[in-house]
A and B are shown apart, each in its own frame.
Chain A
Amino acid sequence: EAQVTQNPRYLITVTGKKLTVTCSQNMNHEYMSWYRQDPGLGLRQIYYSMNVEVTDKGDVPEGYKVSRKEKRNFPLILESPSPNQTSLYFCASSPWQVDQPQHFGDGTRLSIL
């Protein structure tokens, strides 16, 4: 089954404790992206990657890091999480060509205390 898998689905942690949210897709997609979703603000892009070893900032990259060492994986790293990073996070992937919809994971709900 074609899918984007995120882990963990839920995480409660404390300020300053480094965490990583993993994302993996099995569709051989070149493009991958991370979004955060907050009430009233919709989906905002954090980082995206057009292919292996190619990453770039989205609209809200502060406080986040990503890496793309393999085509299928695109982890999101919070080196020193803060409460304003409490949110619902989605990973998505799509073929490189424009005019293609993105496939989303089921989300990771992060609570930073």
Chain B
Amino acid sequence: GESVGLHLPTLSVQEGDNSIINCAYSNSASDYFIWYKQESGKGPQFIIDIRSNMDKRQGQRVTVLLNKTVKHLSLQIAATQPGDSAVYFCAENSSGGYQKVTFGIGTKLQVIP
């Protein structure tokens, strides 16, 4: 809901520009990373994932970059559209025998028409 967006870092981007959303993760043992998009009133929705043996993965209009040296993950959205306005958060998964997933707090993306 709307209250999820409060207290979050916010990125404002002009429609048509590229967006870059950053995420720092904490666990060096994490080996699988996911980006989710959460629209107002909805549950998180999977966007793209990347495994630790990769540095970059591309989807449709989205690219995820992984820098294991500094434990940093980024999501790039090309040609940002109004429908991209949402809260985006990263999640890290360490394959310690079960799906232990740690979610970041999130970044609110506002697209200015």
Q: Which residues of A contact B (CB under 8 A)?
A: 4, 31, 33, 35, 37, 39-45, 48, 50, 88, 90, 92, 94, 98-107, 109
Contacts and interface: CB of A to CB of B under 8 A. Distances in A.
A104 B106 contact: no
A88 B1 contact: yes
Contacts of B113: none
A98 B44 contact: no
Interface size, B (range) = 20 to 34
List 6 tightest A-B contacts by C-beta distance, closest first.
A104-B43, A40-B7, A101-B46, A43-B103, A98-B95, A42-B105
Interface in B39-92: 41-46, 49, 51, 89
A1 B89 CA distance: 25
A106 B1 contact: no
Given A39-B6, A105-B43, A50 B98 contact: yes
Given A39-B4, A42-B105, A98-B32, A104 B99 contact: no
B67 to A, nearest CB: 19
Given A40-B7, A88-B1, A101-B34, A4 B43 contact: yes
Given A31-B99, A43-B103, A98-B93, A104 B3 contact: no
16 contacts: A33-B99, A39-B4, A40-B7, A40-B105, A42-B89, A42-B103, A44-B103, A92-B43, A98-B95, A101-B46, A102-B44, A102-B46, A102-B101, A103-B46, A104-B36, A104-B45
A93 to B, nearest CB: 10
Contact of A42 (B49, B51, B93, B106): B106
A98 B42 contact: no
